[in-house]
Structure formats: structure tokens, C-alpha cells
Amino acid sequence: MTTGYLYHEMFGWHDPGTAAGLFASDPRLGIQPLQHFEHADTKRRIHELIVVSGLIDELLRIEPRRATEDEILRVHDREHVTRIRAESERPGGGDAGDGISPFGSGGFDIASLAAGAVLEAVEAVFAGRVDNAYALVRPPGHHALPGTGMGFCLFNNVAIAARHARYRLGAERIAVLDWDVHHGNGTQAVFYDDPAVLTISLHQDNVFPLNSGRVEELGSGAGRGYSLNVPLPPGTGDGGYRYAMETVCLPAIRRFQPDLVLVASGFDAGAMDPMGRQMVTSDGFRRLTELTMEVADEVCGGRLVLSHEGGYNPAYVPFCGLAVMETLCGKKTVSDPFLPLVAAMAQQELQPAQRDAIDLAAAGLAGIEGRAG
């Protein structure tokens, strides 16, 4: 198994400033400067653990490139791209669009490199240079809408990659599985009326964006049936996530028969995350990866690309990232020292309220049709 790996030191230089988690410091409002939730350390520490554990020697390093403006415009409005570019030129930079997603000078270049890294990953998989790939990118992408960035995302990396696979690599159907703890609203919006791209989002119910990702959101027009949402109760652990995969995500992908599976891979459903209230362990993420690889093997020759999204505990996230990448390439390195603690948390196994929520979402499977003929 050859696994492609994409990272660039520039991703650590994306600068969200000194917000106190979400909010810009302002003494008049009592907000002290601190560190933005989406700071570099979580991602940089994944990369450093990949190197220090020796896993880097088992991965095929692929150099990211910048996405071109035309590639970004396959998903985003020209006004949005022009605004991000202009704000990126300013001393101090700008904001992706919602006031909680600041970026520094040169942010346009870093966001273009993040989108381009996922394109490179998809190209490597389609060319057969690798079996699967992980793009450890920053800034993330899954909240970015065609007309604006939001939720720390400037450009929708996964959506841009899906369009690239469709328009340039001959993929007819693409499934996007999003296991970030927040709703993959941007990706859903891009493809809401498009039956060629199935979006499936597993997320904690009503965390971000608010009032988004309800089970009733199934797509519109020709795309009706090709958006699936599994809003999970807070406290869902490895058992609930596994049940959601087996009951909704895997059957959906099997029915859909895509040519490529993309994963929006956030680790903020992790048991120690400051932004989510879920309990997934590194072993849980390992299992999610195994199941996704199995279904990709079944339907599309194993073509699988994961693009990094959220995950905000710098101590724990690296072990989740390591577990996923170990699984992709079939190697094992160091053990997660937190695992005995987080795996023993009460109610890691599927709970009745979780089962009910997942079963409700499974009703949406009926709207997915396989390939014609």
C-alpha cells in the first residue's frame, strides 16, 4: 500500500492572530488577547509526530502546488476570490468572511496552496502513483461557501478537489464523507443540487454553523437525495460513530458507487477537543479509516483522499492523525498514551439516543440511486 502525504511548512504560517479562541481581543468588551482556536500547533504537531515516529519513511511525500485561480473559481464566486486576494495584500491581512476567521498578509497564497495540495493528492491517486493520500492542509475548507469563507475556512479545499476530479480526471461520481465534528455546510451547499457528488456529514447536532446539518437537508432539484446529514447527540463515542458508519455512510457510498471517495477529516470529534463534545478516540478514528478504505476498495478500486479540517487539542490531535495515516499505509509506530484514559470513558459504546438519531438519518438512503444501466 502506497500512501501519499502532503504538507508544507507554509501551512503553519497561516496567521489567525491573537483572538481569544474565537473573538478578537477588545478590552472594552473584556476580551483578552490569547490564541485563536485554529492555530498552527495542532497541525504542525501532527506533522512532527509523523516525522519523529518514523511513519514519514512509510509515506510517499508529494509536494503541494498552489491551486490556480481558475481551479478555485470552479467552486467560488469571482467576487470572493478577488476580495480574499485584495485583503491578503493588506498589512495585517483580512477575514474569510464571518469575522471569526482572520488571516494574515499573504493568506491568499497559503489558502491556494492548501487547495492545491488536495488537487495534487487526487491527481496522484488517479494516476496510480499512490493508492490513497492524506493532505495535511491549513487553512481548512469545509465551511467555505461559493460566495464567502466562514468557520476558519477561506476556500473549500475538498469541493475544489471534487470539481477537479470531475472536470479534469474523468470521475463521474464522487462521495464526500465529512467526519469533522462540525457540519460540512460549505461542501453541502456547493453540491446541493448536484447528483454527481454525494455529501455525507457526521457532526455534533447544532454546533456550527447553527441551524445547519439537519437530517431533513437532503439536497434539492436533481441533487435531491444526494446530501445526507447525521446530526449526533453530544457525547457520542467510538460505538456511535461506528454505528453511524455502518448504518448510513457505508450503505450510502455502496449505493452511490462513486469513482472517488474524499474525506473531510477533522479530529474535533476527539475525546479531548475544546470545540466539540464528542468522545472519539484515536482507535475510533483508526476504525473510521479502515471502514472507509474497505468501502473504497469495494466501489472504486480504493481511490481515497483525505483532506485535513478541524481538530483543536494540540496534545491529542497528533495521535488521531497518526492513527489515520498508519491505517492508510498499513504500518504501526508509537502508541497513543491517552488511549487507556479516553477509551475507558463511560458510554463509549452506542447509546439509545444515538441509535435513534442515526436510524432517523438512515431513512435518507432511499433517495440515492446507483449508476444508470
- β-sheet bridge partners, residue 227: 199
Q: Which of 38, 180, 238, 326 binds Zn ion (CB under 5 A)?
A: 180
CB nearer Zn ion, residue 64 or residue 310: 310
- Report yes or no: 302 and 260 within 8 Å, Cβ to Cβ: no
Give the start-end residues of each E strand in the chain.
Answer: 3-6, 59-61, 94-95, 102-103, 132-135, 174-178, 197-204, 227-232, 260-265, 304-308
Give min distance, CB of 288 to Zn ion, in A: 15
Distance CA 368, CA 361 (A): 13
Question: Given the rule CB under 5 A, which of 44-52, 91-99, 177-185, 356-364 is the region that contacts Zn ion?
Answer: 177-185
State the nearest-atom distance from the C-beta of 143 to Zn ion, in Å: 8
CB 285 within 8 A of CB 242: no
The answer to whether the beta carbons of residues 324 and 306 sit under 8 Å apart is yes
- Shortest distance, position 89 Cβ to Zn ion, whole Å: 28
> Per CB under 5 A, does 87 bind Zn ion?
no
Asked if residue 231 binds Zn ion (CB under 5 A), the reply is no
Nearer CB in complex with Zn ion: 83/143: 143
Pick one of 15, 123, 131, 268: the residue that binds Zn ion (CB under 5 A): 268
Minimum CB separation of residue 289 from Zn ion in Å reads 18
Nearer to Zn ion, 249 or 269 (CB): 269
| Residues paired with residue 177 on neighbouring β-strands, in sequence order | 200, 263
Show the DSSP H helices in 60-126 as ranges.
69-73, 78-89, 107-126
Give CA separation, 124 vs 18, 110, 132, 168, 216, in Å.
Answer: 37, 21, 8, 13, 36
Phi and psi at residue 369, to the nearest 5°:
-105, 145
Candidates 114-122, 172-180, 290-298, 342-350: pick the segment binding Zn ion (CB under 5 A): 172-180
Burial of residue 78 (CB within 10 Å: 0-12, 13-18, 19+) is exposed
Among 310, 318, 321, 364, binds Zn ion (CB under 5 A): 310
Work out how close the CB of 22 gets to Zn ion at its nearest, in angstroms, rounded to a whole number. Answer: 12
Q: Is the peptide bond before 16 cis (omega within 30 degrees of 0)?
A: no
Is the bond leading into 318 cis (omega within 30 degrees of zero)? no
Judged by CB under 5 A, which stretch of 39-47, 79-87, 173-181, 243-251 contacts Zn ion?
173-181
Size, binding site for Zn ion by CB under 5 A: 5
Shortest distance, position 58 Cβ to Zn ion, whole Å: 28
- Residue number, 95 or 178, with CB nearest to Zn ion: 178
Enzyme catalytic residues? 143
**CB nearer Zn ion, residue 7 or residue 152:** 152
Write the CA distances from 100 to 2, 19, 53, 96, 110, integer angstroms. Answer: 38, 8, 34, 8, 18
Closer CB to Zn ion, 116 or 310, in the complex: 310
Single out the segment in contact with Zn ion by CB under 5 A; choices: 53-61, 118-126, 264-272, 290-298: 264-272
Nearest distance in Å: CB 200, Zn ion: 15
Q: Do 270 and 184 form a contact (C-beta atoms < 8 A)?
A: no
Interaction between residue 182 and Zn ion (CB under 5 A): yes
* 343 grid coordinates: 477509551
Q: Does 138 bind Zn ion (CB under 5 A)?
A: no
Region from 127-135, 184-192, 221-229, 309-317 binding Zn ion, contact rule CB under 5 A: 309-317
Chain residues binding Zn ion by CB under 5 A are: 180, 182, 266, 268, 310
